[in-house]
Chain A
Amino acid sequence: MRKTEIPVSENLGRGHLACAGCGAAVGMRLTLKALGEKTVMVFPASCWSIIPGFWPYSSLRIPVVHAGFVTGGSTASGVRAALDIRGDHEALVAVWAGDGGTFDIGIQALSGAAERNEDFIYICNDNEGYMNTGTQRSSATPLFAWTTTTPVTRPNENPKKDMMAIMADHHIPYAATATIAYPEDLLRKMEKAKRIRGTRFIHLLSPCPPGWRIPSERTIQVSRLAVRCRVFPLYEIENGISYTIQEQSRAVPVKEYLKLQGRFSHLTDQEIDRIQERVDDEWQHLLRKARC
C-alpha cells in the first residue's frame, strides 16, 4: 500500500480532545482506517477515556465500550462472546489500551484472554508512561527516562518490559510492533491482524509531546527515529515463534533519538552508552530469534 492509497474513511471524528500533536490520535485514525466501521472497540482507562469527548458526545464513529482499567482483555472477551451469541461474527472486536493498562494493571486480564486465544485484536497504545495522569512511570517507561515519579535526581532505573516477548510466549497467532511514522506498515499489520482469528496483539508506539517533552510537530520524527535507532524495531511474530523483522535501511545511533526528547535531557554520556549497549544487545537478540 502506498501512502496515497490509505483509506479516506475517518472514524475518529474532528473535535476530539487529544493534545496538539498527539501521536496516539494519529495512531487511532490510521488504525480505524484499517479496521473499518464494523469494529467494536474496548477502551480500558487511558487517555482514550477522555480524548473521544465527554458524555453526551463521542468523536469515535464506531461503537465503543469504555471499561475498567484492568479489564481490556476481559471486557473484550465478553463483548466477543455476546456478538458470537448474537451471531454477529462479522463484527471485529478490538481493544485499545495504554501501556499502563497493558504492561501493568491489565496484564492479567490480557494474559488470560491471550491464553484462551480470545478472538480480538488487542492494541497496546504505548506512550511509555501514565500520561493521562500527568506522566508517571510505568513498566513501559524506558531506562533512565524522566517522569514525575522518576525525577532526574533518580531517573527510571529499570529497562522497559519486553511485552512482545511475553505475548509471543502465549503463542498467539499474531503479534506485531507498529508506529505512526510508518503508516503503510501499520495499516498492513492491522489489516493482516484483521484477517486472522484468535488473539492478535499490536504493540503501537505513540510518542506523547507533553509526556516525552517534545515539540508537538516532532511526534512523527520521534516515532521514526525510535525505529531507525532500533529502540523500537518493527517486526511480526506468528504463532509465537516465527519472527519477521521490517529492517530499516538507515540505522542511526540511539543518541539521535534521545537528544530530541526532554525526558532524556539529563542523560550523561555514560548513560547514553549504556542505553546504546542495551539497544544493540536487544537487536542482536531479535535477529537471533528471526533467524531460527
Chain B
Amino acid sequence: MRRVITGNQAVAYGVILSRVDVISAYPITPQTTIVEELSELIGSGRLNTRFLKVESEHSAMAALIGASTGGVRCFTATSSQGLAYMHEMLHWASGARLPIVLVNVNRALAPPWNIWSDQSDSLSQRDTGWIQLYCENNQEVLDTILQAYRIAEAVRLPVMVVLDAYVLSHTSEPVEIPTMEEADSFLPPYRPEHPLHTGQPEAFSMIATPEHFMEFRYKMQKAMEQVPAIAKTVDEEFRSRFGRGYGSIERYGEGEAEVLLITSGTVTSTSRIVIQRLMERGVSVAGIKVKRFRPFPSEEIYEEIRGAKKVAVIDRNLSAGVGGIFAQELRASLYSKEERPQVFGFVSGLGGRDITPELIEEAIRCTIEHHRPEEEILWLGLKR
C-alpha cells in the first residue's frame, strides 16, 4: 500500500508492523505526532500493545528496561531534551543487553530553546552502547524500524533510529507500507533467550565486581562488532523481500572522484542534487551517505574513499571544542590507514538552519580549492 505520510507517521507504521508489545513514551516536540499516531492506532484496536504514558523520558526508558527484561518487544520515541534526560537509562538498556528500539527525532538541545533539527542530541549519546541508524526519507524510516528489531534482537543491543525534525517528521512523502503479513514474514516474533520468569529465581542486572565487569563490556563490544555483518544480512533479506535496501553507507555519483562529500540524514537528499549538477559540469565529486553511525562503518567508508585526495564532511551537529562529530569519527577511523585523504569538517545547519544547495556547493568548492583545510572547523552558512 502506498500512502503519503509524514516521517512520524512512518515511525508509527513501522512500530505497528513490528508488532511491538510495550510502548512507553513521553511527549516532546517534534516527536509528539508519533505518540499521537500510536495512541490512535492502539485506541482503534489495531495493536495488542500496552502503551505506558509515563511521566518522563527517564521513566519511559526505565519502563522499557523492565518490560524488555520481561521478554517482550519494546519501543519508545523522543527528541532532544528527552533523549538527554534518558541518558542514564540508555546506558542501562545496553548494559543489560536489551533489544529496545528508540526513535529519536533530531532536535537541538537548549538553551536557547530550539525545536528544530540538529543531530547533537543523538550524537551526544554515541557512547551509550546503542546502535544508531540515521534516515534520509520517510520510506527509509519505516523500513529501518523493521530492520532495527532484527538487528537488535540478533545482537542483544538497543537501536536508535534517527530522523530529522520537520524535514522528515512533519513532511509528507509517498511511502510504500508493507502488509502485516509481509512484515511478519520479515520480522518474526521476539523470542528472548532468557526472559524473566517466576519460578526461575534469577537476578537481572546485578552488581559485578572488577573481577567480572570488564568482560561484560568486552562482550558488549564484541556484539557491536557483529553488527556490520548482521545488518548487512538483514538489509539484503529486506531488499530481497521488499526491493529496498540501504546498506550501512551509500555511495552515489559515478566513477573516480577527487572529492567525496559525506553527509547523513536529509542533507544527503539535497547533496544528491548538488553533486548531480556539479558532475554534469565536470566536477570530480561523489557523495557518501552514512546511515549507520554506531558501530561506525569505518571499513565501508574507507573502501569508498581510499583513492580520494580530499573528503568533505557536513555535520549538522557540534561537539564544542572539537567540531563536527561525523568528521571527528572519520578522522579517527582513518588515522591507522596508509592512504589518508584530507578531511574538511564543515559544521552547518545547527538549530534547524537550512542547509541549502548553495551551502553544499560552497563546501565542495572550498574542498576542491584548498590543499588542506584552513581551520579544524569550517563553519558553513555562519553569519560571522
Contacts and interface: CB of A to CB of B under 8 A. Distances in A.
* Contact between chain A and chain B defined by CB under 8 Å: yes
Interface of A: 11, 37-40, 42, 49-50, 52-56, 58, 60-68, 70-71, 73-86, 88, 90-91, 108-109, 111-112, 115-116
Contact of A86 (B55, B71, B88, B92): B71
A55 B195 CA distance: 18
Interface centre among B22, B53, B56, B63 (most CB of A within 10 A): B63
B198 A63 contact: yes
Contacts of B56: 108-109, 112
A79 B66 contact: yes
Interface stretch (B104-112, B124-132, B201-209, B350-358): B201-209
Given A65-B66, A65-B204, A68-B88, A78 B24 contact: yes
Contacts of A91: 198
Contact of B62 (A63, A70, A82, A116): A70
Contacts of B69: 65, 78-79, 82
Nearest to B196: A63
Given A63-B198, A73-B59, A54 B206 contact: yes
Given A68-B92, A71-B89, A63 B206 contact: no
Given A75-B62, A77-B66, A63 B52 contact: no
Given A71-B59, A108-B56, A82 B88 contact: no
A229 to B, nearest CB: 37
B188 interface: no
A78 B328 CA distance: 37
Given A108-B56, A112-B59, 12 more contacts: A37-B201, A65-B205, A66-B204, A66-B205, A67-B65, A70-B59, A71-B89, A74-B58, A78-B69, A79-B66, A108-B55, A111-B55
B121 interface: no
B212 interface: yes
A74 B52 CA distance: 9
A78 B52 contact: yes
Contact of B207 (A49, A71, A73, A86): A49
B72 interface: yes
Contact of B198 (A54, A62, A65): A62
B66 A42 contact: yes
B201 A116 contact: no
A71 B50 CA distance: 19
A116 B204 contact: no
